[in-house]
């Protein structure tokens, strides 16, 4: 086999050869000392170039970074209200937002119309019956007040009652 030329060595180093050519060069380098020496020279040169390139990379000066961010902020301030509105009117934002609004319009009236969870304790009726009946002769004034009686159940019998005299001039 002829020796490997310079072009083939460079391509081999950068994995640019076809698989069969790559296999052939690899086998040749195992068997041919002069070509292997040439390969090592070429590899050393490539590594030296990479090392030099790494050394050339420098951090961007902090003043430059600050000036870039300042320029971005100034650009945002200059953005008009219309531009922002157009941003919100993008279909990706507008469609889900409209869906939420429609859902709310459908559901809110239902909750608004549902009756408040008001009840009147059964104990209120028993107490009011006893109170109004207290004008009857020999009424049972001896009955235990509900507020004391319900100790075991932990139930409170205190209810807010506005008497009739306070309601007389209140429109229904």
Partner 1 sequence: MLHRNLRTVFGLLCASLFWIAVAPADNPSLVLQLAMDAPAHVSFVGEVQDLEIGDSKSVATIYRIEHRAPDLTQRWYEAPQALYGDSVISRGNVSYNVDVKRGRVIVNRNDAIDDQVAIADNFGLLTQNYRVFFAPDQTVAGLPARVLFLVNKHTGETTMRVWIDRKTSLVLQKERYASNGSLTSQVRFEQIRYTSAIPAGVFAVPTGLPRSDGQNHALPSNDITAMVKAAGFKARGPSYLPDGFVPVAGDLSDVNGIRTLHLLYSDGIRTASLFQNARGIAANFAGYAPRGVAVGGARGQFVQEGATTLLTWQGSGGLSFTLVGDMSRDELVKIAASV
Minimum distance, C-beta of residue 117 to partner 1, in the bound complex (Å): 10
Distance CA 162, CA 172 (A): 14
- Closest among 120, 131, 132 to 158, alpha carbons compared: 120
> Does residue 144 touch partner 1 according to CB under 8 A?
yes
CB of 77 to partner 1, least distance (A): 54
Residues near 6 by Cβ (< 8 Å), separated by ≥ 6? Answer: 38, 42
81 near partner 1 (CB under 8 A): no
Task: Pick from 51, 86, 103, 132 the residue near partner 1 by CB under 8 A.
Answer: 132
Rounded to whole angstroms, the Cα distance separating 63 from 120 reads 74
Backbone angles phi, psi at 160, to 5 degrees: -80, 115
Question: What's the min distance (Å) between Cβ of 153 and partner 1?
Answer: 4
Angle 6-13/19-31 helices, nearest 10 degrees? 110
Exposed, middle or buried, 124 (CB in 10 Å: 0-12/13-18/19+)? middle
| Residue 128 interacts with partner 1 (CB under 8 A): yes or no | yes
Binding mask 88-117 for partner 1 (x = CB under 8 A): ---------------------------x--
Determine if 59 is a binding residue for partner 1 (CB under 8 A). no
Q: By CB under 8 A, is residue 34 in contact with partner 1?
A: no
Q: Which residues bind partner 1 (CB under 8 A)?
A: 115, 118-129, 131-140, 142-145, 147-153, 155, 157-168, 170-172
């Amino acid at each position: 086999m002829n020796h490997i030329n310079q072009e083939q060595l460079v391509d081999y180093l950068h994995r640019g050869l076809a698989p069969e050519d790559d296999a052939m060069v690899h086998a040749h380098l195992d068997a041919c000392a002069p070509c292997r020496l040439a390969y090592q020279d070429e590899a050393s040169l490539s590594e030296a170039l990479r090392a030099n390139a790494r050394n050339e990379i420098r951090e961007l000066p902090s003043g430059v970074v600050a000036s870039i961010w300042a320029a971005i902020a100034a650009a945002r301030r200059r953005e008009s209200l219309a531009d922002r509105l157009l941003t919100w009117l993008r279909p990706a934002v507008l469609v889900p937002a409209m869906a939420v609004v429609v859902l709310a319009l459908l559901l809110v009236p239902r909750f608004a119309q549902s009756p408040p969870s008001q009840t009147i304790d059964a104990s209120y009726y028993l107490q009011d019956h006893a109170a109004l009946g207290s004008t009857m002769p020999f009424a049972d004034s001896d009955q235990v007040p509900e507020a004391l009686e319900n100790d075991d159940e932990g139930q409170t019998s205190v209810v807010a009652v506005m008497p009739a005299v306070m309601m007389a001039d209140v429109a229904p």
